[in-house]
Amino acid sequence: MNSFADRTGIEHPIVQGPFGGGLSTVELLGVVSDGGGLGSFGAHILDGQGILDLVAECRDRTSRPFNVNLWVPQPGEPRAVAAADAIRLRPYYTALGLELPQGIETSNYADQLAAVLESAPPVVSFVMGIPDARFIQAARKRGIRLVGTATTVDEAVAVEAAGMDAVVASGSDAGGHRGAFLRPVHESLVGTFSLVPQVARAVAIPVVAAGGIADGRGVAAAMTLGADAVQVGTGFLATTQSGASPVHRSVLRSERARTTVLTRIFSGRTARGISNRIVRDMAPFENEVPAYPAQNALMVPIRQHAARHGDPELLNLWSGQAAALAGSADAGEYLAELIAALPDRSVVVR
């Protein structure tokens, strides 16, 4: 009763990575959970009521375990956008005829935690930090399984010490935001092949390998490295059931996805995505854009405009380094391809 699958009650140790920023869908979560994996929903932009509604919708969609994911807020996050913050983006606002946002819309973390406790989804995962001991205790009492995310061995040890049930070892190959929380991101960029075996050696809780796994070979390799389960993000983002815009999905399946970068320009927090014009044009200002969520608030109108107009050059094209390995465009078929590659778990080396 110690494996990730046993702890979470799933049949096959394949997790569909949660996507924040509106890219998760209940449909994708449902297809993956119904298929015996763990479907996930990135809920960090939802308020308390939004989380209550989401969990009810997930329960309607699937009778099997699913995962709701939250971001732990970082100390000192800005609460407002200053006029000077927008200086580098003004040319885009002018060219696109957009209005600068007046403030930052963020969700209240305490409300999110209260909603999670009230609705008690089967699994809750966290990134960017570790929830406090009181929440962990209360969640355990309600039978919620808790998963933390680590980008370094030290973070994995901290996740285990906090009493979480499992840890996602997120290599720097992964798409989306980096979750580093003990040291700066640039000191926490460990590739999946280096990270997973070291984390597996350092902790006793199940390790979920994430980052650059998009086909059966990656699944088999991660399990050989000591992972107990795998978390696949970009490969599921490229399926028709994800919330990615058509233009994002088509770039993920093109040769352009071979070139990804880590950049702060879309949100104020370092994330991996496919390079495009705005990434290259803003690169000189990489270190001067304001911190998350201020830069995120400033970029939302530009990103929304780009998604509406199918313009890949101004869009946040989140992607990991293995997008080209993604399989079937249907999430159910893709999940079956990943499951077929799972090795006999009795031979996993720790």
Question: Which residues sit at the interface with ligand FMN, rule CB under 6 A?
Answer: 17-20, 23, 42, 44, 69, 125, 127, 149, 170, 173-176, 210-214, 231-235, 237, 318, 320, 322
Q: How far is the CB of 1 from ligand FMN (least distance, A)?
A: 25
| DSSP state letters, 59-84 | HHH-SS-EEEEEEPPPTT--SS--GG
Q: How far is the CB of 75 from ligand FMN (least distance, A)?
A: 19
Instruction: Say how many C-beta atoms besides its own lie within 10 A of residue 321's C-beta.
Output: 22
Q: How far is the CB of 118 from ligand FMN (least distance, A)?
A: 21
Between the alpha carbon of residue 104 and those of residues 80, 171, 265, 296, 298, the distances in Å are 6, 30, 16, 9, 9
Strands 123-127 and 145-150: parallel
Tell me the one-letter amino acid at 304. Answer: Q
Closest CA to 44 of 76, 66, 25, 18: 18
By beta-carbon proximity to ligand FMN, the closer residue of 119 and 260 is 260
Q: How many residues does the chain have?
A: 350
By beta-carbon proximity to ligand FMN, the closer residue of 62 and 67 is 67
Q: How far is the CB of 316 from ligand FMN (least distance, A)?
A: 8
Are 147 and 125 a contacting pair, CB within 8 Å?
A: yes
Q: How far is the CB of 102 from ligand FMN (least distance, A)?
A: 25
Q: What's the rounded Cα separation, in Å, for the pair 126 and 74?
A: 13
Q: How far is the CB of 125 from ligand FMN (least distance, A)?
A: 6
Closest CA to 158 of 131, 191, 130: 130
Q: What's the rounded Cα separation, in Å, for the pair 172 and 180?
A: 10
By beta-carbon proximity to ligand FMN, the closer residue of 100 and 216 is 216
By beta-carbon proximity to ligand FMN, the closer residue of 149 and 296 is 149
By beta-carbon proximity to ligand FMN, the closer residue of 20 and 86 is 20
| DSSP state letters, 119-146 | H--SEEEEESS---HHHHHHHHHTT-EE
Q: How far is the CB of 70 from ligand FMN (least distance, A)?
A: 8
Q: What's the rounded Cα separation, in Å, for the pair 171 and 180?
A: 11
By beta-carbon proximity to ligand FMN, the closer residue of 257 and 298 is 257
Between the alpha carbon of residue 132 and those of residues 42, 114, 135, 155, 169, the distances in Å are 20, 13, 6, 15, 20
Q: How far is the CB of 108 from ligand FMN (least distance, A)?
A: 17
By beta-carbon proximity to ligand FMN, the closer residue of 35 and 235 is 235
Q: Where are the alpha helices (DSSP H) in 225-323?
A: 234-237, 246-252, 277-282, 294-308
Q: How far is the CB of 13 from ligand FMN (least distance, A)?
A: 14
Between the alpha carbon of residue 149 and those of residues 22, 30, 70, 207, the distances in Å are 20, 22, 11, 10
By beta-carbon proximity to ligand FMN, the closer residue of 64 and 269 is 269
Question: Which residue has its beta carbon closest to ligand FMN?
Answer: 233
By beta-carbon proximity to ligand FMN, the closer residue of 40 and 86 is 40
